Chains A and B, each alone.
Chain A
Amino acid sequence: MTTVLFSYFAGVIVLMAVLVVASRKPVNSALSLLVMFFHVAGLFVLLNAEFIAAVQIIVYAGAILVLYLFVVMLLNLRAEESYHKQYLVGLVVGLAILIEAVLILSRSGFADRALPAAAPAPDVLSGNTEGIGRALYTTYLFPFEVASLILLVAMIGAIILAKKGMFGKEEKRSLR
């Protein structure tokens, strides 16, 4: 049962991810991304990580993607007339690398291997929300703090690059 479900989720994820890149209309890309996020959440459920599954849907599908859609609609992007000229080269090289990777991974025995012992088993009693909280604030405290710094940088950076009137010289040398 798990295998069937996994194959379904994984298959849809790959298909949707391809559609995100391949669609010519930006809205279609965003919607494919949405479907992909839902299926990723499904994978998390299969792994007994309900909390992350919920976060995946609330944050990614709920918040981030809606923002994407807003941007796409506001900017009124037109559908791409055609693919980039280099897409044929990209396709050939990409396929070659894909085939290589599949060949290597199919020989590596990933499929018929038990889960690595080091992966922490979810604590049934305390539930996995608490487990994640514990892990984040003990073992992974340092990475957690660094990640928060990264978000700070990204936020301020976006303001710097996008807000009007940040620089004195702007009016004088503006592009438009």
Chain B
Amino acid sequence: MNFAVTDIGAVLPEVIVAVYACAILLIEPFLPKGRQEVLAYFGFAALGVAFYGTWNLMRTDLTVMNGMFVLDPFGNFFKLLLYVAAAMTILLSMEYLKREGIDRGEYYAFVLLATCGMMILVSASDLIMVFLGLELMSIPFYILAGFKRFEEKSLEAAAKYFILGSFSSGILLFGISLLYGLSGTTNLQALALHLRGAELQNPAWILAMILLVVGFGFKIAAVPFHMWTPDVYEGAPTPVTAFLSVGSKAASFAVFLRVFIEALGGIQSDWRFLLIFLSVVTIVLGNVVALVQTNIKRMLAYSSIAHAGYAMIGLIVGDSLGIFSLMIYMLIYAFMTLGAFGVVMLLRREGVEGDEIRDFAGLARKDRLTAFAMLIFMFSLAGIPPTAGFVAKFYIFMAAVNAHLTWLVVLGVVFTAVSAYFYLRVVMVMYMKEPDEAVQLSAPPGVVMVLAVAAAVVLLLGIYPSPFLDYAQEAVLKLR
């Protein structure tokens, strides 16, 4: 049970990101006001170095730190995705922070620390690490959501997210403590071993499992634990919303999957039923409520809820095809969502909030390229070929059909059709409506870059997905 120095090599990407974050905090006071965006480049450097590190460690598979931390291709797949999402978030933020008058260097440190939390989360192989990773991810988000602290909406978002988030952490912790009481261990592998031989009649396992579902369900915004989502998404600064809906969701899904497949695989028949129920409610409610939203950020919030419902199908299936489809789904969801939020940010200008759907009126006349990018993202979110969203849904549904859940697929497809209505309404407003006023949209280089990359990836993944699929295939969580 001793600590080996060589273990540090395995957690080096996490250490790098954390060290850079601390460096940002130290340098920040010495920079004059208005020069804080220099620190964003520190953020890029941290993510770049960490990306390089993870890339080199990609195929390693080992458990370090006395079974607390597992370095495997599955975790590394999500880490690479998180680096890209975090870098795109910083790109989106640079100009935005200045315009909103909230350009403080700590912002970038918090983005990095949240990323560090997510990285720990996707690599956690012990329930203690799961909890700590979840907190390290959430606490920066509580603060980032309230970063525009002179705006009531932003503060409301922060307060709501904080109170509900700590409540859900408490429930998760209760579940973890029950598991510890039942098995005497918090290690995922040891739990799995215990479950294999244990008296499965013991109903306390089920109670612990339900509590864990509540805790994770909150983080992935599954109905009925989604109440915070629309308000937080609407109130938080837009780049934070983008990162929250992409990074936090991907990392939470990764850990949800790891805990439930790896540790609680023995009671799959029990959690499967519960998750099917949650998935159905999530898909139905997310898509139906999104229909009546007039605010684009709220609409994207409900769309993010609905997508969580689809992605849960991959977890419900639970075999290697299911895990694979969930990974692909998260990858694609990340790019299309980041892109969509990027377009929303372009509409923001002095005096106009720019987050109502009617603000999109006539965007195609004002700015053809932006409108086209939004069209791609909306098509992709709706799952229309040849965009990536189609590929994502295709694999999820294929996994479900293979697992004899055809009725779930039918329901999913029906509600995908429903979702097309509100996604395509945005496209309709952009192309068919007359613009209210002739204004020039600002085009900060960072946002433009994010839009270009996201649109390119969404199209590429839709037309020629095989390199990504091959990589994900290699990285699928090994079923023990």
Contacts and interface: CB of A to CB of B under 8 A. Distances in A.
Which secondary structure dominates chain A's binding surface? helix
B407 interface: no
A83 interface: no
Contacts of A139: 1, 3, 66
Contact of A173 (B22, B66, B129, B150): B150
A104 B102 contact: no
Nearest to A120: B1
Which secondary structure dominates chain B's binding surface? helix
A91 interface: no
A143 B142 contact: no
Contacts of B3: 137-139, 141
Contacts of B66: 138-140
Contact of B139 (A105, A150, A173): A150
A150 B136 contact: yes
Contacts of B152: 175
* Centre residue among B1, B25, B183 by max chain A CB count within 10 A: B1
A111 to B, nearest CB: 11
A149 interface: yes
Given A108-B202, A150-B139, A173-B150, A116 B113 contact: no
B158 interface: yes
A92 interface: no
A169 to B, nearest CB: 3
Contacts of A77: none
A126 to B, nearest CB: 15
A55 interface: no
A146 B133 CA distance: 8
Contact of B113 (A109, A149, A161): A149
A150 B135 contact: yes
Interface residues of A, number: 38
Contacts of A105: 204, 207
B73 interface: no
Contacts of B206: 104
A119 interface: yes
A118 interface: yes
B52 to A, nearest CB: 22
B262 interface: no
Contacts of B102: 167, 169
Interface in B148-169: 149-152, 158
A50 B364 CA distance: 70
B474 interface: no
Interface string B170-212: 0000000000011111000010000000000011101100000
Interface residues of B, number: 51
A68 to B, nearest CB: 15
Nearest to A158: B143
A118 B143 contact: no
A160 B143 contact: yes
B137 to A, nearest CB: 10
Contacts of B150: 167, 169-170, 173-175
Given A101-B207, A146-B129, A147-B132, A167 B149 contact: yes
A116 B184 contact: yes
B33 A161 contact: no
Given A166-B104, A170-B150, A156 B204 contact: no
A40 to B, nearest CB: 14
Given A142-B129, A166-B104, 15 more contacts: A118-B183, A140-B128, A142-B68, A146-B120, A146-B133, A150-B132, A160-B104, A160-B147, A161-B149, A168-B101, A169-B100, A169-B102, A173-B101, A173-B150, A175-B152
22 contacts: A104-B204, A104-B207, A108-B203, A108-B204, A110-B204, A115-B184, A117-B184, A118-B183, A137-B3, A138-B1, A138-B66, A139-B66, A143-B128, A143-B132, A146-B129, A150-B132, A150-B136, A154-B139, A160-B149, A161-B158, A166-B104, A167-B149
Q: Which A-B residue pairs are the 10 nearest by beta carbons?
A: A116-B184, A169-B101, A108-B204, A157-B143, A118-B184, A142-B65, A146-B132, A104-B203, A104-B207, A139-B66
Interface of A: 101, 104-105, 107-110, 115-119, 137-143, 146-147, 149-150, 152-154, 156-157, 160-161, 166-170, 173-175
